[in-house]
Structure 1
Amino acid sequence: MIKVLLENKMPWLILLIHVILGVSSTLSPIPVIVWFYLVIFSSLHYLLKKTPSPILLIATILYLVSFELLARMARTSPFIPYELGKYLLLAGMVWAILMNKTIGYLGWVMLICLIPAVFIDVSGIVSRDDLVFNLLGPVNVALVVIVFYKQKISLSNFSSLIRLMIYPIIGVLAFTFIKSPEFDQVEFSLGANSDWSGGFGSNQVSTLFGLGALMLFILMINRWKFSGFFILDAVFLFGFVFQGLLTFSRGGMLGAVVGIFIILFYLRTSEYRERQKYNLPKVGKYVLPAIFFAASAYIVVDELTGGMLSLRYAGETAGTLQGSKIKSFNTVTTGRLDIFLGDVDLWLDHFFFGVGAGASGSLRETMEGAAAHVELSRLLAEHGLLGLIYFVVLCWLGFKLLRENPNPMVRGILVAFFTVAIYTTFHAAMRTFVSPALIGLSLLAVNLPKTNPVKRKPQGSSKQKVLVRVK
């Protein structure tokens, strides 16, 4: 089944299946459970045999972990675990390490940095569930670095990985569309809105829709096939942005904007010879229509909410509008600054080894009891100096992307994925599959199609050299 999805010979049928999965999830968990295990068991003989490259395993894992939120919405637990992404990524990456050659040695350094905090608990109340909740995210990132780093993949297969991750998000889009109330039944306020996220965490839904919008944008501007019809692709892009904005959770949507801006930056700053050599897309022809659809979604939602959306993105709250609160960076970030500062204070008091994994929430003086939303400050507070080393190593891997891959588009995509992954850790920590998956994709070694100068005789009497892409 995974090979069928990768080949994408009947894109309309695949899209229809995932829309049906999303719609049926509002009624019963059975279709999602059946489809999930159908993909696993039908692909098992490919996954169990030893191969020179783990790309097929990576494709399967990335597709299946993208069902994390849809499975939760469909209430498939325990048949599909509640935090699917964490457990499946862990199992998949361990299997890949056992079965394939890996060269991401810095991932082992990151993994070692996490070990001491497992045996430290300054609070004295950390449970096994707390350890799992706080550790699996950074552990999975380290494992992803080990497995994904410099794994060779063709450009066509790279685009297929992106497409695979969008399919389950289409299901989430269908679910939230069916579950959304009528506009006249909802009174919009200056806070996250679960009514438009299917009744689930608006931050996670917004993050997922932002990811879907970014990835679909990438497929569209490169003319990599998704549905096979530009207008239909644009409709899905509009849907991601529209529903994402309605959640009033800003993190995911702003992440998509950051990723798109980075890609456009690399396109606009590319030299003429690079644009010719790599057949880079013309910004006006493909990018502007995509931006138009996304901007239209913002305008429509702002109009439907009576201008509340613009106030929300401007950082206003009910308190700041009434004058009872002063608008500050902390109010704009919905308390994340206080969480960050509280964690830093803990780190300064426990500099070398931190307070132990899962203990910061009950010990920090600001926002006590609140779950960490900023992974960097959590690493510092709970892992101490080793947490800082972990984050520096991770950032070093991202910094290396700035000078790798000669194709400006591919380099832009890889840098965008890594940047959005790190950005996501600053508003949703590492609690979802998004950061590990994007970091993994950014570390792949994308092999470009060869371009050979070939003489052609064009219409007319003159002759010129043109570049022909050899697939």
Structure 2
Amino acid sequence: MIKSLIQNKYPLVWIILHLILGFTATITPYVLIAWFYFVILSSLSHVLKKNKSPFILISLLLYLVSFELLSRMARTSPFIPYELGKYLLAAGAIWGIFNFKTRGYSGIVMLVCLLPSLFIDLSGQVQRSDVVFNLLGAVNVALVCWFFYKQNFSSEELGKVVRLMVYPILGILSYTFIKTPDFEEVEFVLGANVDLSGGFGSNQVSTLFGLGTLLVFILIISRQTFSGNFILDIAILFALSFQGLLTFSRGGMIGAVLGVMIILFFLRRASPLVRRKYHLPNVGKYVIPLILVGILSFVVVDQITNGLLSLRYQGETMGTIQGSKVKTLNTISTGRFDIFMGDVNLWLDHFVFGVGAGASRFLRESLTGTIAHVELSRLLAESGFLGLIYFVILSWLGVKLFRGQSNPLIKGILIALYIVAMYTTFHAAMRTYVTPSLLGLSLLAVKTSKKPKPKVRKKHSLKALEPIAS
């Protein structure tokens, strides 16, 4: 099945299938469960046999983990684990490390940096679920840095993996659309709206819609259409951005805009010679329709919410509008800044090894009991100086991306994936599959696919054209 999905001979069929999966998930979880295990069982033979390239494994892995949020929404646990992305990414990356050549040795150092926090608990309240929830995301990032680093992919293969990651997001789109009540019944406020995110965590839903928006844009700008039809791709882009804006959770949509701007930056600064060499797309041809889609979706949602969307993206709250609160970095970040500073203070008190995995929320003076939304501060508080080393290594891997890749489009895409992955850690930590997946893709050694040379028609001689004498 994974090969059929990769080949994408019938894109409309796959799009409709995944929309149906989201629709049926609003009624019963068993259709989604059946599809999930059918894909696994029908693809195992391709994964288990010896392959020179990890392309099939990575394709299957990133397709399956992209069902993480939809499976949570459909309540498929324990058949599909609640922490699907964390378990599956860890298992797949470990399998890849033992079966393929790997050069990401910095990932090993990152793993070592996390080990001491497993044996420390200064709060005395950490349970096993707390460790999994807080630490396994960082472990996955280290594993993908080890496994994905410099694996050889063509730009066409990268596009195929990106397409696979979009399909399950379409399931979330249809699920959310069905679950969204009539707008007249919704009381819009200056805060994240659970009612308009399918009854689930709006931050996670917004993150996935932002990711889907960015990935579809990548396919369009690299001329690997998602559906096979440009107009339909634009419609899907509008639907993803529209639903993402409706959640009123800003992180995911800001991430999408950030990724798009990075790709366009590298395309715009390419010289005419480089443009011709790599057959770069005409930016205006693609960007103008996409910008119009973004503006249209924002304007429509802003009108539906009576202007509250604009205020939300300006960092306003009901308190700041009424004058009972002053707009500060903490109110703009919805409390994340106070959590960040609380974790930093814990780090200063326990500089070397930190307070232990999952313990910071019990010991923090500000917003005690609230889980960290910023991975950097969590790493510092719970892993101490080793957490800082972990983050420095991760940052250095990103810096190296600026020195590689001569193709501006591929360079822009890889850097956009990396920066969006890192940005996500500052509003959703490493609790979803988004950060490790995008980081892994950004570390691949992607080469420009060689376009087949046009066939030259042979000129027939006049003699060959003469009728045969009878």
Q: When the two structures are superposed, what TM-score results if normalisation uses the length of structure 2? A: 0.96
Partner Cα distance (1:46, 1:338) in 2? 48
Matched-pair contact (CA < 8 Å) for 2:225–2:233: no
Partner Cα distance (2:310, 2:83) in 1? 33
Cα deviation, residue 249, structure 1: 0.1
Cα deviation, residue 74, structure 1: 1.2
Q: Which amino acid aligns with 1:170?
A: L
Q: Which amino acid aligns with 2:153?
A: I
Matched-pair contact (CA < 8 Å) for 2:246–2:301: yes
Map residues 7-156 of structure 1 onto 2, 5 A cutoff. 7-156=7-156
Cα deviation, residue 50, structure 1: 2.5
1:451–1:239 CA distance, 2 compared to 1 (3 A): closer
Deviations 1:90-147 (A, max 9, x none): 1111111122211110000000000011111111111111111111000000000111
Deviations 1:36-68 (A, max 9, x none): 011100001011123222111010000000000
Q: Which amino acid aligns with 2:313?
A: Y
Tell me the residue number matched to 1:438.
438
Partner Cα distance (2:53, 2:114) in 1? 28
2:196 matched to 1:196? yes
Partner Cα distance (2:157, 2:453) in 1? 24
Tell me the residue number matched to 1:245.
245
Matched-pair contact (CA < 8 Å) for 1:241–1:294: yes
Deviations 1:378-427 (A, max 9, x none): 00000000000000000000000011111000000000000000000000
Q: Which runs of 4+ in 1 moved over 6 A?
A: 451-454
Q: When the two structures are superposed, what TM-score results if normalisation uses the length of structure 1? A: 0.95
Matched-pair contact (CA < 8 Å) for 1:141–1:436: yes
Q: Which amino acid aligns with 1:274?
A: V
In structure 1, list runs of 5 or more residues that go unmatched.
Answer: 458-471
Map residues 446-465 of structure 1 onto 2, 5 A cutoff. 446-450=446-450
Q: Which amino acid aligns with 1:32?
A: L
Query: SS where residue 449 of structure 1 aligns?
Result: coil
Tell me the residue number matched to 1:320.
320
Partner Cα distance (1:39, 1:182) in 2? 35
Partner Cα distance (1:453, 1:89) in 2? 38
Q: Which amino acid aligns with 1:419?
A: I
Cα deviation, residue 220, structure 1: 1.1
Query: SS where residue 446 of structure 1 aligns?
Result: strand
In structure 2, list runs of 5 or more residues that go unmatched.
Answer: 458-470
Q: Which moved more, 1:219-228 or 1:162-171?
A: 219-228
Map residues 331-346 of structure 1 onto 2, 5 A cutoff. 331-346=331-346
Q: Which amino acid aligns with 2:308?
A: M
Partner Cα distance (1:7, 1:414) in 2? 23
Tell me the residue number matched to 1:347.
347
Q: Which amino acid aligns with 1:354?
A: G
Partner Cα distance (1:113, 1:432) in 2? 21
Matched-pair contact (CA < 8 Å) for 1:18–1:170: yes
Query: SS where residue 446 of structure 2 aligns?
Result: strand
Larger Rg: 2
Map residues 271-310 of structure 1 onto 2, 5 A cutoff. 271-310=271-310
Q: Which amino acid aligns with 2:262?
A: I
Query: SS where residue 153 of structure 1 aligns?
Result: strand
Q: Which amino acid aligns with 1:118?
A: L
1:452–1:176 CA distance, 2 compared to 1 (3 A): closer
Tell me the residue number matched to 2:375.
375
Tell me the residue number matched to 1:228.
228
Matched-pair contact (CA < 8 Å) for 1:277–1:451: no
Cα deviation, residue 453, structure 1: 10
Matched-pair contact (CA < 8 Å) for 1:361–1:369: yes
Query: SS where residue 428 of structure 1 aligns?
Result: coil
Partner Cα distance (1:450, 1:289) in 2? 28
2:418 matched to 1:418? yes
Q: Which amino acid aligns with 2:96?
A: A
Matched-pair contact (CA < 8 Å) for 1:166–1:212: yes
Partner Cα distance (2:274, 2:367) in 1? 50
Tell me the residue number matched to 2:160.
160
Cα deviation, residue 291, structure 1: 1.5
Cα deviation, residue 452, structure 1: 10
Q: Which amino acid aligns with 1:273?
A: L
